[in-house]
């Protein structure tokens, strides 16, 4: 039987407030609500060139083409290239389930939305996440740690600092005049989830 090439998600195809989505992803188990999943209006083979973002970290990737799924060989999945220098995560964009669905999980498409929505993404999701990682690493390095821990995390700090520059540059991109008057409120973002892998595993097995 041919694979179902639709992309399923609990998140809508179009949205205006990425911070609201990110907070919902961080505070609830909505990602595990299989009955809330709906097919998005794009097929997996149509994703090349699209930009998608992760609600947990704000990281943005560009789809470069299709690759073979490692868990379910023969099923295609989007292959991607990260757009930020601090992208040190190995989790892929979505996964195939035993039921034969490709679920986007914590990922939403970005490139088809108005410019102001994307600006809100950088200001409300991505930049707060990276700033939180930087603050935690500086606190760690300011304490009494071993040389090995210091060296490893000093490198991570430099990488995240580079990522912050990338995100701030993206947020500063000019937007149409009608959108430049929009003020993005300062919103306290929830602490990053540490159980992302476990959540995904819960859907696989």
Spacing of C-alpha 95 from chain mean position = 14
Would you list the domain boundaries of the chain? Answer: 6-112, 115-180
Residue 189 pLDDT exceeds 60: no
pLDDT of residue 175: 60
Nearest to 94 by CA among 111, 80, 106, 112: 106
Please give the torsion angle defined by the CA atoms of residues 199, 83, 85 and 173, in that order, rounded to the nearest 10 degrees: -120
Tell me if 13 sits within 8 A of 109, measured CB to CB: yes
Tokens 């964009």 belong to 93
Residue 9 pLDDT exceeds 70: yes
- Output the pTM of the full model: 0.81
How high does pLDDT run on average in the chain?
84
Please give the torsion angle defined by the CA atoms of residues 138, 143, 148 and 151, in that order, rounded to the nearest 10 degrees: 30
Residue 185 pLDDT exceeds 50: no
pLDDT of residue 126: 95
Helix 147-171, helix 127-141: angle, nearest 10: 160
- SS3 (DSSP) at 104: coil
| Cβ neighbours for 55, distance < 8 A, ≥ 6 positions apart | 11, 18, 21, 22, 25, 26, 106, 107, 108, 125
Residue 178 pLDDT exceeds 60: no
Q: Binning pLDDT at 50, 70 and 90, where does residue 2 land?
A: low
pLDDT of residue 28: 77
pLDDT average, residue stretch 100-108: 94
pLDDT of residue 76: 95
């Amino acid at each position: 039987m041919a694979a179902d090439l639709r992309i399923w998600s609990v998140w809508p195809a179009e949205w205006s407030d990425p911070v609201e989505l990110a907070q919902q992803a961080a505070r609830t188990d909505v990602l595990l609500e299989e009955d809330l999943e709906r097919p998005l209006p794009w097929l997996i083979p149509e994703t090349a060139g699209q930009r998608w973002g992760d609600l947990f970290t704000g990281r943005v990737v560009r789809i470069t083409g299709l690759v073979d799924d490692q868990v379910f060989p023969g099923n295609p999945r989007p292959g991607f290239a990260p757009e930020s220098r601090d992208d040190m995560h190995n989790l892929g964009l979505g996964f195939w389930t035993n039921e034969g669905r490709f679920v986007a999980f914590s990922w939403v498409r970005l490139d088809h939305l108005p410019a102001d929505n994307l600006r809100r993404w950088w200001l409300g999701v991505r930049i707060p996440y990276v700033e939180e990682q930087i603050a935690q690493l500086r606190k760690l390095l300011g304490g009494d740690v071993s040389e090995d821990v210091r060296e490893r995390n000093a490198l991570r700090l430099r990488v995240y600092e580079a990522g912050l520059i990338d995100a701030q540059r993206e947020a500063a991109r000019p937007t149409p005049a009608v959108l430049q008057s929009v003020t993005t409120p300062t919103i306290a973002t929830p602490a990053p989830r540490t159980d992302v892998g476990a959540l995904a595993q819960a859907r696989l097995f």
